[in-house]
Amino acid sequence: MSRFLSISILLLFVLHVSSESAGEEEFTEELLFRPLPDRKVLSHFHFESRAPPTNSYGHHHRLFPKAIYQLVHKYRIKQMELSFTQGRWNYDSWGGFDPIASSNAKPPGVELWAVFGVPPDQVDASWKNLTHTLSGLFCASINFLESSTAYSAPDWSFRSLSGNLRYGSLPREAVCTENLTPWLKLLPCRDKSGLSSLMNRPSIYSGFYHSQRLHLTSDEFDPVALHGIMLEQTLTIVLQPDSLETHPSFSGSRKLQPSWSMSSLFGKTVDGKCALAKSSNVYVQLEGSLVYNMKNTWNSIDSYEGDSNFGFTVSPDRMMKEINSIDKEGYSILYGFSINNDHSSKPFDLGFWWKLPVTWSCVKAPLRVSRFLMGSGNEKGAIALSLQSTEWSQSLLKADNNGEKCNLRVDVFQLVPWYIKVYYHTTKIYVDGASQSLGDIIEKMSVSPSEDKVSPGVMEMILRLPCDMKSASLTLEFDKGFLHIDEYPPDANQGFDIPSAIISYPDFQTRLQYKLDTTSIKSPMVSKMQERRTILSYTEVLLVPLTTPDFSMPYNVITITCTVFALYFGSLLNALRRRVGEEERLRKSKDKSTGKLRLLLSKLSAKLRGKPWEPPSSTPPSSSSKFISTKVVIKIILIAAIAFGWQYYDG
């Protein structure tokens, strides 16, 4: 099924692309705005560079970034995606079904996957080199994905294209301008002109979600190269437009949505298009449910002016309506604005304002997924994955196949670091609060348990959940492992991350098909939206507190070892040097002879018998111990007196 689908997608894609002229390098820039139901605005930059196949075009490029071209050729990359994300995509209110959400909602931190066109035994080596190259290229610690404990090779659940795929993610990577600058350097106009000049750093990093993505596709290494390398760079930001009233009061739901403009969102305007871009377009997308909710007050949809709920400061050049909408109620509308390059006119500053209040909700993903940790303590715990149906998916499924017992296919891909020792046999599934046997729900499952310090645990699963279920949960128990002291990362007391699980719904294909009128120009972004793609969603990153040693422990260990050594050597030397017979004799003589003379005599006789060559200077130690002790006492008193006096007068 999935293979057929993938083939058909590929076929569609190939047909679609081949219809274009593949002869020249191309660069297009596009920007999409979409008002979100929770008073925020999604802005999605889409830059696309194409390089024709090398065998027909050669090695030299005018527009296409050389770094990427070399990267593709060196590591023979077929497909690659790298994303830097800050914040979380809010699947509930920003939607999880449309193409933009399902391809641009990424887990926090860095995510990288790549498909290589090399023999299977060289894939790991290519991956390692690739991570180092990207790490240098994007000023990020992607090289941590080099270690075999950090990445995995999903078989079938992640993408339908399998084999030479490697996947890894770094949830803790902080994303900032240092990652954006190299990304912008790949654009022919950088951020000097064109749409990318809107990227004012303070405003794009102060949003609620920031995801910078780089997607590479190449068929350079296929026997018949048709369209060369395609580099797709997107930046998805969710911003809150400044509105006058910060506090929504009780009638908040009936309030006007905030109006916005390019200058209010970014603090900048576009002076003109990037001179090297083939086309430069700005779109405003209104979702189907929004259009439906506005219908009451909107007389003629075809012309936005007049009685519509909203207005633009610049009149749109074209309008596209969605056809074959999945959502039966409404269809999405896309307004297009072209930026032309006449410098005489005033800078392009698209504004959007609302005239009437309206509420709507985004199309959610079929299931609401959340993942959390269970249990407490440093010994063990459990990972729970809870899937809740959204009303929308229910209605869809009922409409799709009524009568027969339908089920919903959910693919789960989960990567767990080795120090979280997951016991896969403890998998339990509950549907609507009732425990289910695994065989009823799990259609296919492949697990590769983690190996300590070598590889992470990978779980891939296909679940078949009944359509009418309200909630399902999956739990896996784990034990927490111990790390060697130098394996702890900095700030180990924060805990350890479990990367996001990937949930996909192969039953649902998302696509937004717009009726292209004859006047509309080819837009890569719109054609991307028209591609069929599987809905993906990511779960939360989890933080597992592990036992951490007291990191001053090495110091303690050193001190205690030194003490033990000192004691050992002390007693060893003592035992070696000690002469028990001599000591006994000494004590005896001490007891017996109090007089100095006798002692001296005995000493002398001993000397005469045993060691006549010993000099007489050795006699002082044999002098009576009483004498020494009084001396010692006097010394101690003297020192104490000095110390006391010093303390007293000095302090």
Partner 1 sequence: MASTPETEGQKPKHRPIVRIGIFIIAHSFIVSVVCCTAGVLALLLLPVLAKKTYVSENALMPGSAIPMITDQDVSGANNFINELTSLNSKSQSLNIEIPRLIALHMANLGGEVSYHMFQNQPNKFHPLHFFTSTDTEANNVNQTCESYATNTVGIIRAPRGDGKESIVLVTPYNPVNLSPNETLSLGIAYSVFSLLTQVSWLAKDIIWLAADSQHGQYNSVAAWLKDYHTPSFGGFGKLHDDECHISNDIIEMEVSDTLRRAGTMAAALVIKVANTGEAGEQDALNIYAEASNGQMPNLDLINVVSYLAVHGQGLRVQVDKLVSLLDSTWLKFIGEVFETVGKIARSVNPQWKFGISVKEYVEGSATLVSSLYNQALGVPTGSHGAFRDYQVDAITMEISPKLFSNSKGRQTELLFRGGRLVEGVIRSVNNLLEKFHQSFFLYLLTSSNKFVSVGVYMIAFLLLVAPLPVLAASLFSDTIKSYVKSEKNQPFKSWRWLYPTKTVFLVHLWGAIISLLPYFIYQIPDSQPTSRLLIWASLSLFILIVLGSFFRARSAEWALLKSVTVSSAFIGLCLMSVINFATAEIGALLLVPMCLMTKPWRVAGKVQSALNLVLVIIGFPGATFFVVKSVLGFENGSSLVEFWYWVESLWAWNSATYIYICMVHLPCWILCIYILLHPC
Residues near partner 1, by CB under 8 A? 38, 86-88, 90, 108-109, 171, 206-208, 210, 246-250, 252-253, 359, 370, 372-377, 384, 386, 388, 428, 430, 433-435, 471, 473, 475, 491-495, 497, 540-545, 548, 584-585, 587-589, 647-648, 651
Direct distance between the N- and C-terminal alpha carbons of the chain, in angstroms, rounded to an integer: 89
CB of 369 to partner 1, least distance (A): 12
CB of 364 to partner 1, least distance (A): 12
CB of 546 to partner 1, least distance (A): 11
Type of residue numbered 242: D
CB of 252 to partner 1, least distance (A): 5
CB of 246 to partner 1, least distance (A): 6
Q: Is 542 in a helix, a strand, or coil?
A: strand
CB of 238 to partner 1, least distance (A): 9
Return the structure tokens found at 529.
């939206």
Instruction: Give the dihedral sign, CA 314/315/317/321.
Output: positive
Residue 621 region by backbone torsions, left for phi larger than 0, else alpha for psi between -120 and 50, else beta: alpha
Of 9 and 492, which CB lies nearer to partner 1 in the complex structure?
A: 492
CB of 492 to partner 1, least distance (A): 8
User: Residue 50's Cα: distance from chain center in Å?
Assistant: 28
CB of 206 to partner 1, least distance (A): 6
Of 194 and 499, which CB lies nearer to partner 1 in the complex structure?
A: 499
Rounded Cα–Cα distance for residues 539 and 171 (Å): 12
Of 436 and 530, which CB lies nearer to partner 1 in the complex structure?
A: 436
Of 573 and 634, which CB lies nearer to partner 1 in the complex structure?
A: 573
Return the structure tokens found at 634.
């006097």
Of 344 and 376, which CB lies nearer to partner 1 in the complex structure?
A: 376
Q: Is 56 in a helix, a strand, or coil?
A: helix
Partner residues linked to 344 by β-bridges: none
Closest CA to 446 of 409, 413, 408, 407: 413
User: 438 and 431 in contact (C-beta within 8 Å)?
Assistant: no
CB of 383 to partner 1, least distance (A): 13
Rounded Cα–Cα distance for residues 304 and 257 (Å): 18
Of 192 and 470, which CB lies nearer to partner 1 in the complex structure?
A: 470
Q: How many CB atoms lie within 10 A of CB 62?
A: 10
CB of 170 to partner 1, least distance (A): 12
Of 334 and 472, which CB lies nearer to partner 1 in the complex structure?
A: 472
Q: Is 345 in a helix, a strand, or coil?
A: coil
Rounded Cα–Cα distance for residues 340 and 270 (Å): 11
Task: Give the position of tokens 């784990």.
Answer: 478
- Phi and psi dihedrals of 153, rounded to 5? -120, 90
CB of 458 to partner 1, least distance (A): 22
Of 452 and 487, which CB lies nearer to partner 1 in the complex structure?
A: 487
CB of 432 to partner 1, least distance (A): 8
Instruction: Give the dihedral sign, CA 298/303/305/306.
Output: negative
Closest CA to 99 of 195, 209, 208, 236: 236
CB of 360 to partner 1, least distance (A): 12
Q: Is 572 in a helix, a strand, or coil?
A: helix
CB of 433 to partner 1, least distance (A): 5
CB of 625 to partner 1, least distance (A): 15
Of 347 and 466, which CB lies nearer to partner 1 in the complex structure?
A: 466
Spell out the SS3 assignment of 156-196: CCCCCCCCCEEEEEECCCCCCHHHHHHHHHCCCCCCCCCHH
Burial class (CB in 10 A: 0-12, 13-18, 19+), 429: buried
Of 275 and 632, which CB lies nearer to partner 1 in the complex structure?
A: 632
Closest CA to 30 of 280, 314, 269: 280
Of 55 and 493, which CB lies nearer to partner 1 in the complex structure?
A: 493
CB of 429 to partner 1, least distance (A): 9
Residue 202 region by backbone torsions, left for phi larger than 0, else alpha for psi between -120 and 50, else beta: alpha
Rounded Cα–Cα distance for residues 449 and 152 (Å): 12
User: Residue 438's Cα: distance from chain center in Å?
Assistant: 30
User: 238 and 42 in contact (C-beta within 8 Å)?
Assistant: yes
> What is the DSSP pairing of strand 333-338 with strand 513-514?
unpaired
> Crossing angle for the helix pair 123-138 and 177-185, nearest 10 degrees?
100
Sheet holding 318-323, edge to edge: 151-152, 165-170, 109-116, 77-86, 209-218, 229-239, 41-51, 26-35, 279-286, 333-338, 318-323, 513-514
- Burial code of 571-589, b = ≥16 C-beta within 10 A, e = fewer? eeeeeeeeeeeeeeeeeee
Of 312 and 423, which CB lies nearer to partner 1 in the complex structure?
A: 423
User: 107 and 541 in contact (C-beta within 8 Å)?
Assistant: yes
Of 119 and 554, which CB lies nearer to partner 1 in the complex structure?
A: 554
Of 490 and 615, which CB lies nearer to partner 1 in the complex structure?
A: 490
Of 325 and 475, which CB lies nearer to partner 1 in the complex structure?
A: 475
User: 332 and 325 in contact (C-beta within 8 Å)?
Assistant: yes
Of 403 and 490, which CB lies nearer to partner 1 in the complex structure?
A: 490
